[in-house]
Chain A
């Protein structure tokens, strides 16, 4: 079959080539033109682009803003510069043309990249927001999504952990699914990638379009429900030839705010002394005189550091005659603020276009990357071992991490906390590293046989390969499990590798036609995509010592390999129509067939319609001068989510071996139920929007209302075990999401000092309309989702302090084990007994923010520029699960300073927050999740402050446009949340809102430089 496809396509392409080769190029008389390009203050503009319209001829202005070009005497010259309005001037026989470019606020003629093409911003009827590289370039971050924080309305981008190169969560319009994920689809240069967007060097990116509503995403069909992020990489501009260099280097530090306030050595010794006394035990000698210890070891400081970050990228762009190429080479290296953690990436992108003639264009893009990281297992609760950040905090401050003689102790036993390792050593001796290489490449041919009709065919490939290695030496250890170097049976290692590729073949035909004042733009296409991955994961034990860490030193190796495949076959179609550029209609459809779904539900249709009306172009608006632009938009569409396992539809029989006597015998058992009707999640979305620009586009305001319902959710629904099975993979339930998004951008000041503000805020809400078996609530670790209520509400016992005295105890409902001085909870169901289950657990907060917002202020004064980006959220709560252990009363762990204010007696009840330390009474306060650990998670973070200076290098032959800047990333976090990071949980889903301790997000100071050669 494949051969058939290819032979047909080759025949077809060769015929097309023959047609275009016969078309000929007209030669016309040329004339030389020169002049100067200045801005509106008559300051010469170096680096402006001058092109002859409709040709590939073009030049850039020199340091004095001068240019020289030759063209046909009747040609039109186009002058452009980023941030300025494009100006087109007819040559009309002149030989000197001087041009003044006007700074633009928001150019409605901007081209916006949309699904399968581009559109003028004026004509866009969906909810699409774009960001260009200029707004992102100074932000010192390894990942594209980090740079987008605060820029997009209705898009919540959280940095959930500070692990270098990881931890970004992106959620468009509060999107949530029970189990099918909420991350958007990333499309790079038209290719829905299967690899990780974090592997792409952000310096390669020209623009990003975020498609939010169903009409703009429906051409991505069964993968569109979470929204689509279209990334377009840099290509050389016609007529230019530049080499630019950008580099920054900096230092990352953990801000003081957010560091846990643990007891120091004196305080901890005092605590241990008191616990012993309160339990009628002899005070161990080491706690007899707490004052002798002073501060002791600050374990947080011991395992963290200040760390460097650096980024270099060199890009070369050239577009002369028929050939255009853009090369970006990058190197990024971030050392982590946790010891032994780092991330580095080498990347290269080559985008090349060749125009045979005005009918045929071909292009080849290739972007290889290589990244590597060391990632200690830093995050999580201590029992999800090793969770270095929390585990180290729980260690006795009496224990040294370095001995006086400089030697490194292996363990921290005997200092009052649970036996465990010296974390300063642990974090460094455990190896956990990964290396990834990838290649994103495509080739395309574009043919325009007749005016307006374009055929495009592309082949795309996404190739990824990764290898990971873990080695746990006998010197490592864990909480309750101190290292024992001689016990080599503890040594273990694991190794994982994966090879994956995805290819996409796409054919589209588009036709643009104007008939009078009617404009049509029609698209039809066919695409097929396959993805394949092979993974292996192996573990090894039986190492003789810690010396050789590869598997060849191991006695026992276990593991297995896996193969995964999926295919997707699709047809796309779209019609855009407008009348007088004033009344705009668009209809689109995608038909997807997917291997992931049961035979009874393999194909799905995803249609959408949208309309726009440019009211400001109506005659009746011409008198309202204040309004320079007014557009109403409306759209409705159906989109899907296909994030389900590749073989979920099949009931499989799995190995279930068992011993019989002294033999280990092969056995099998059925592992689930078949579902031939398994299909995609279905989202129907309505969007109503308005765009208004005031005062000659100086103030731009946008508003969108959306409402979407998702049903047939992909969910492996829990079923009663009396069926013999725990769950059943099916489509079930219904969720609703709605919200309001506002954007405002304003040029507050113009002139010498300019000041622009971009502000966005969005209010998102959701509700479960139907759920799984018997509409049974869906529970997360600390969450509940019930029909008729918002998703993923925090669910725990309601905390009422402590039973402060006998009277309080006698008059209050109790639980088995309650005593005067122990934690007190509310008897929610009023049965007189407090139970740690559904009877008394209740909703104690919402994990989804009421609003998320971002604000960017940018200033320029002469050669200086300053920009300040902020982002925040409010109205959500976080349950700080970590605190259950950092306030543990039984003396096994080090605790927060506040624990000293615990209940000691009726006469000395403390702050009313912490109960007594009597053995066998402390577990309820620690182990029963309650509202005690719930906090407001409102925050506002100054994500980035950048101050830049454009160095005037007059008449320098070699360096143009030298700019230096300094920047602070993650500058200030304003929050009352006491945990480390208010963004810790990807808020708003069914299972979010819990803080299990994560790698700290550092503040980064950088110095950077950009220049062109």
Chain B
């Protein structure tokens, strides 16, 4: 009998490997993926996906608008006395944010998620056998997004870990911060290669980036590095785009990926997909029923809202005849509000609350013209004025051309034009930083708010918390998220946090 049991055991162990192998039936294993053109087609779509969160999905999250606009003098927030649960989002505006801020981890994490996915694609795509044109297109997109994300990181955090290959072991998952110069070197290399691999806009499916996006990015990078000639070179290669005749139409969800659009974050209000945007709801005043704003359905209070509210200072710099003002800023009267401004540029209603169909513009041709103007002006080239006027005096603005002027004055005019033309597109804070004006302007802004909190949307009797708007050079960078510091002992926090 023992012998028989032994046989039984032997038989069973011979097939035990089969018995003990259970692979998941509901997902694809990574070992079986990254092989075919279709695999990479899907992987590229997966690369774009975290951009939605990066720029602002979720009613209670802080999208890129928080660090890109609310930090600046363009916008602030409407103090929400009835619900203090979202106060974390105020800290970025007040300069009281720290390493626990939701805004900083949203930016840091989503950039690195995209980088990680891009690394996975770039690591595996050369070994896959399929059509070279398609392969170049995919590689170009992965390189562009990797460069774009590192550019976002390096501008907001300074030195950052530079991961370029996917980790294959636990040990490889911790990297130190690389010097800014190395990060920029990689960004320029990736963007340059991407520009050479990506097709012209006319040959790319709308919604995916074409070579124009890579050149625009490259120009932007050189501009930040004050490499004016290289910037001009790259920016002049952005071809195949033109300005829309109507300013408001640029942002209309009916005109997604229009002729002016070089790169925009794609959202869709398809009810079951969970891919809708909802920043427009966040930007409205707090309303018992957002249905009072044209285009929005009646529904629940948006008690989480009141963010990214245009400041009186921004409102005042618009020329009275500038048609872009009405297209950019709306005013609401009612429910105790008198002329409460809100961002209108991205406000196009919703079919089902709170799901909107608005895309987020990242690069559009108007900015390329302004960047070109800047690069040329810094080199003392006269062509700068024409490029500024191409935006400023376009028929859609209703403004007269700016007459010839000196280099210093033109520098200021270009900066102001950027503030207006690109208002609420997350450009202002970085413009203040690279123009060296951030510390002075934001301290002055704090003083203005403190002097008259009600003008800055505080309820009567409430003013900014003590210690807010104390802006020093160290506040030009944001804090590395707390989680990263805990997990990576090689990483030190930016000074001042």
Binding site for B on A (CB under 8 A): 1, 4-5, 8-9, 12, 16, 279-281, 383, 418-419, 449, 455, 480-481, 484, 487, 489-490, 507, 509, 524, 526, 528, 556, 558, 561-563, 565-567, 569, 571, 593-595, 602, 646-647, 650-654, 656-671, 673-674, 717-726, 728, 730, 773-774, 776-777, 779, 815-819, 835-838, 890, 892, 919-923, 926-927
Contact = CB atoms under 8 A, between A and B. Distances in A.
Interface stretch (B219-227, B362-370, B479-487): B479-487
A838 B87 contact: no
11 contacts: A8-B8, A480-B301, A507-B5, A650-B24, A657-B273, A664-B270, A668-B33, A717-B170, A718-B487, A719-B170, A730-B170
Contacts of A920: 79, 81, 84, 462-463, 465
A637 to B, nearest CB: 23
Interface in B440-491: 459-463, 465-468, 481-484, 486-489, 491
Interface in B51-81: 52, 79, 81
Nearest to A717: B170
Given A569-B20, A595-B20, A817 B25 contact: no
Contacts of B4: 8, 12
A669 B117 contact: yes
Nearest to A723: B173
B487 A837 contact: no
B270 A566 contact: no
Nearest to B43: A668
A723 B268 contact: no
A721 B7 contact: no
10 shortest interchain CB distances as A-B pairs: A724-B116, A667-B45, A659-B268, A816-B467, A669-B46, A817-B465, A660-B207, A722-B161, A656-B46, A723-B173
Interface string B203-226: 001111000000000000000000
Nearest to B84: A923
A930 to B, nearest CB: 15
A651 B169 CA distance: 13
Contacts of B87: 923, 927
A725 B167 contact: yes
Nearest to B268: A659
- Chain B interface residue count: which class? 35 or more
B257 to A, nearest CB: 6
B408 interface: no
Nearest to B206: A661
Contacts of B163: 722-724
B467 A817 contact: yes
Contact of A658 (B168, B174, B275): B275
B83 A838 contact: no
A658 B49 contact: yes
A720 B161 contact: yes
Most buried by A among B7, B31, B173, B466: B173
B8 A563 contact: no
B27 A819 contact: no
Interface of B: 1-2, 4-5, 7-9, 11-13, 15-16, 18-31, 33, 39, 42-49, 52, 79, 81-85, 87, 94, 96, 98-100, 108-109, 112-113, 115-117, 119-120, 160-161, 163, 166-168, 170, 172-175, 205-208, 256-257, 266-268, 270-273, 275, 298-301, 303, 352-353, 459-463, 465-468, 481-484, 486-489, 491
A509 B6 CA distance: 12
B384 to A, nearest CB: 34
B300 to A, nearest CB: 6
A526 B47 CA distance: 49
Contact of B43 (A16, A593, A667, A720): A667
B116 A653 contact: no
Contacts of B465: 816-817, 920-921
Contacts of A674: 30-31
Given A720-B488, A817-B465, 12 more contacts: A12-B4, A507-B8, A526-B5, A650-B23, A658-B48, A660-B45, A661-B205, A719-B487, A720-B174, A726-B109, A816-B466, A919-B462
A776 B85 contact: no
Given A724-B112, A818-B466, A776 B486 contact: yes
A457 to B, nearest CB: 10
A280 B81 contact: no
Contact of A653 (B27, B207, B303): B27
A753 to B, nearest CB: 57
A659 B29 contact: no
A643 to B, nearest CB: 16
B27 A652 contact: yes
A721 B108 contact: yes
A663 B275 CA distance: 11
Nearest to B277: A659
Nearest to A719: B173
Nearest to B83: A480
A652 B30 contact: yes
B278 to A, nearest CB: 14
A732 to B, nearest CB: 8
B273 A664 contact: yes
A776 B46 contact: no
Nearest to B79: A920
Contacts of A776: 486-487, 489
B28 A668 contact: yes
A838 B19 contact: no
B158 to A, nearest CB: 14
A552 B468 CA distance: 54
Contacts of A720: 161, 173-175, 484, 487-488, 491
A787 to B, nearest CB: 13
B54 to A, nearest CB: 12
Nearest to B115: A724
A1 B46 contact: no
A556 B116 contact: no
A838 B352 CA distance: 42
B485 to A, nearest CB: 8
Contacts of A651: 29-31
Contacts of A837: 98-100, 482
B98 A662 contact: no
Contact of B20 (A567, A661, A890, A892): A567
B116 A725 contact: yes
Contact of B120 (A593, A670, A726, A777): A670
A581 B161 CA distance: 68
Contacts of B22: 565-567, 595, 646-647
Contact of B275 (A528, A659, A773): A659
Most buried by A among B43, B46, B113: B46
B266 to A, nearest CB: 4
Most buried by B among A667, A725, A837, A892: A667
Contacts of B30: 650-653, 670, 674
A836 B44 CA distance: 39
A186 B168 CA distance: 38
Contacts of B27: 647, 652-654, 671
Contact of A489 (B31, B267, B352): B352
A673 B167 contact: yes
A774 B487 contact: yes
Contacts of B96: 816-817
B42 A667 contact: yes
A528 B20 CA distance: 10
B49 A669 contact: yes
Nearest to B15: A1
Nearest to A279: B461
Contacts of B488: 720, 722, 773-774
A280 B206 contact: no
B45 A658 contact: yes
A565 B205 CA distance: 42
A810 to B, nearest CB: 13
Contact of B5 (A490, A509, A718, A923): A509
A779 B482 CA distance: 12
A673 B116 CA distance: 12
A709 B49 CA distance: 43
A538 B353 CA distance: 21
